[in-house]
């Protein structure tokens, strides 16, 4: 590593998350042409591993963008002219996806709940009885509020609406909790590299059902860069329409091997364990979870700053000890703080972090 490399600060922020050195180094492979056989081999060997981690037989496409690019793709490709999309919102990310639909000229209805609460399935059932939708979009793990939404219950309701495509953002929970794409009938399940995947930023993955391709063919203006029909054509040849981030693919390939070697169930259990460590610390230290009881995320804790401590000062203290957490997001920026416990972070890292936060609290 170069002598200029900055001192290591372990990130407990919800993206980009801490990336293991071995994964960073995997990006240093020699370049290959993206129309070469070597590239097709790399793409091809990633596919079954991606399908395994998404629990799907559907293809998993690679997008050269962060997760937001797949929002745009999903909104553009699944909603026909004159039809509507329904967005379940409960925080900053789910609200922004609704905005992306609108900015792409789609008619979007929004079912909102107060930040910190989960979108309840009854709300969805009621909305679907009133109006016809081409798609329902939701964020499984709202990274701003630390809420894990009951997507399994939404899936049950959507079984009665085969014409309505089910779009689920799993950006901050992918491989941190089970999301059985095929069992839940999720039509587009999307994530990006820099959160629960624990890679550097720059790429996104979407498991896309055949129903989405059928629907897309009925949508006139899908654009080009994020058009699923175009992407699928190249996918059939283990390729991408434009030049992908090959270095990141090397890293992703290695990371998928690590995930499967750990075992997905073991990985989920590790995330539960880390969530418990942070939730118990918050209670012990005199704080309160911002997320609704029963809906706490297994991958990120949003904690209400009930003691009114100076988060920036605590972070400065932590940084001197080689670690960093995050302030709140959006309109709860000052009211909350966030601790990510996703990706390759281990329970012992959280034990160390919480011990250091206790040290800071003792200085007050
Ligand atoms: C960060 C985040 C996004 C945005 O993803 P980018 O990769 O930054 O574009 C979308 N959804 C959720 C839930 C997120 O946490």
pLDDT digits (tens, 9 = 90+) for 53-105: 999 999 999 999 999 999 999 999 999 999 999 999 999 999 999 999 999 99
Q: What pLDDT, on a 0 to 100 scale, did the predictor assign at position 3?
A: 63
Question: Ligand 1 pocket, 297 CB below 6 A?
Answer: no
Question: Ligand 1 pocket, 143 CB below 6 A?
Answer: yes
How far is Cα 59 from Cα 319, in angstroms, rounded to an integer? 41
User: Which tens digit of pLDDT belongs to each residue from 28-58?
Assistant: 999 999 999 999 999 999 999 999 999 999 9
Question: Ligand 1 pocket, 68 CB below 6 A?
Answer: yes
User: Which tens digit of pLDDT belongs to each residue from 5-35?
Assistant: 889 999 999 999 999 999 999 999 999 999 9
Q: Which atom of ligand 1 is nearest to the CA of 194?
A: 7
The two structure tokens encoding residue 8: 């290591």
206 burial level (CB within 10 Å; 0-12, 13-18, 19+): buried
What is the DSSP track for 62-109?
EESS-HHHHHHHHHHHH--TT-EEEEEESSHHHHHHHHHHHHTT-EEE
Question: Ligand 1 pocket, 15 CB below 6 A?
Answer: yes
Distance (Å) from CA 230 to ligand 1 centroid: 24
Q: What pLDDT, on a 0 to 100 scale, did the predictor assign at position 346?
A: 98
pLDDT surpasses 70 at 2: no
Whose alpha carbon is nearest atom 12 of ligand 1? 171
Give, for ligand 1, the residue of 87, 137, 195 to mutate: max count of ligand atoms closer than 8 Å to Cβ: 195
Question: Ligand 1 pocket, 169 CB below 6 A?
Answer: yes
Q: What pLDDT, on a 0 to 100 scale, did the predictor assign at position 190?
A: 98
Q: What pLDDT, on a 0 to 100 scale, did the predictor assign at position 6?
A: 86
Of the candidates 251, 202, 201, 346, the residue with the CA atom closest to the CA atom of residue 22: 251
User: Which tens digit of pLDDT belongs to each residue from 107-163?
Assistant: 999 999 999 999 999 999 999 999 999 999 999 999 999 999 999 999 999 999 999
Q: What is the pTM of this model?
A: 0.98
Whole-Å CA distances, 70 to 66, 135, 175, 246, 292: 8, 15, 18, 19, 28
Question: Ligand 1 pocket, 66 CB below 6 A?
Answer: yes
Question: Ligand 1 pocket, 302 CB below 6 A?
Answer: no
Average pLDDT over residues 290-297: 98
The two structure tokens encoding residue 288: 């309160």
The three-class DSSP label of residue 11 is strand
In the chain, what are the domains?
10-20+264-362 (3.90.1150.10), 21-260 (3.40.640.10)
Distance (Å) from CA 67 to ligand 1 centroid: 5
Distance (Å) from CA 192 to ligand 1 centroid: 7
Query: Using only C-alpha atoms, what is the Rg of the chain?
Result: 20
Q: Which atom of ligand 1 is nearest to the CA of 142?
A: 13
User: Which tens digit of pLDDT belongs to each residue from 215-271?
Assistant: 999 999 999 999 999 999 999 999 999 999 999 999 999 999 999 999 999 999 999
Q: What pLDDT, on a 0 to 100 scale, did the predictor assign at position 5?
A: 80
Q: Is the dihedral of CA 47, 51, 52, 53 positive or negative?
A: positive
């Amino acid at each position: 590593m170069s002598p200029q490399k900055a001192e290591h600060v372990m990130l407990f922020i919800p993206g980009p998350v801490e990336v293991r050195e071995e994964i960073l180094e995997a990006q240093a492979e020699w370049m290959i042409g993206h129309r070469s056989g070597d590239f097709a081999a790399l793409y091809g060997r990633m596919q079954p591993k991606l399908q395994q981690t998404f629990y799907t037989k559907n293809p998993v496409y690679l997008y050269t963008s962060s997760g937001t690019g797949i929002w745009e793709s999903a909104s553009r490709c699944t909603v026909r002219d004159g039809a509507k999309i329904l967005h379940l919102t409960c925080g900053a990310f789910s609200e922004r996806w609704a905005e992306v639909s609108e900015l792409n000229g789609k008619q979007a209805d929004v079912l909102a709940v107060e930040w910190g609460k989960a979108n309840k399935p009854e709300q969805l059932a009621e909305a679907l009885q009133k109006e016809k939708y081409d798609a329902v979009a939701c964020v499984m793990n709202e990274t701003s509020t630390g809420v894990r939404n009951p997507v399994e219950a939404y899936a049950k309701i959507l079984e009665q609406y085969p014409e309505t495509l089910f779009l689920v953002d799993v950006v901050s929970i992918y491989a941190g909790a089970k999301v059985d794409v095929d069992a839940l009938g999720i039509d587009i399940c999307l994530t990006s590299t820099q959160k629960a995947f624990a890679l550097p930023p720059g790429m996104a993955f979407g498991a896309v059902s055949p129903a989405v391709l059928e629907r897309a063919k009925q949508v006139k203006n899908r654009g080009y860069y994020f058009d699923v029909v175009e992407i699928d054509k190249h996918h059939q040849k283990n390729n991408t329409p434009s030049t992908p981030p090959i270095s990141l693919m090397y890293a992703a390939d290695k990371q998928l091997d690590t995930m499967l070697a750990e075992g997905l169930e073991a990985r989920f259990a590790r995330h539960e364990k880390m969530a418990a460590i942070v939730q118990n610390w918050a209670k012990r230290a005199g704080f309160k979870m911002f997320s609704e009881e029963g809906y706490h995320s297994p991958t990120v804790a949003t904690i209400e700053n009930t003691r009114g401590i100076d988060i920036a000062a605590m972070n400065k203290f932590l940084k001197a000890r080689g670690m960093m957490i995050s302030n709140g997001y959006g309109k709860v920026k000052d009211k909350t703080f966030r601790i990510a416990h996703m990706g390759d972070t281990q329970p012992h890292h959280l034990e160390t972090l919480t011990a250091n936060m206790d040290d800071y609290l003792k200085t007050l």
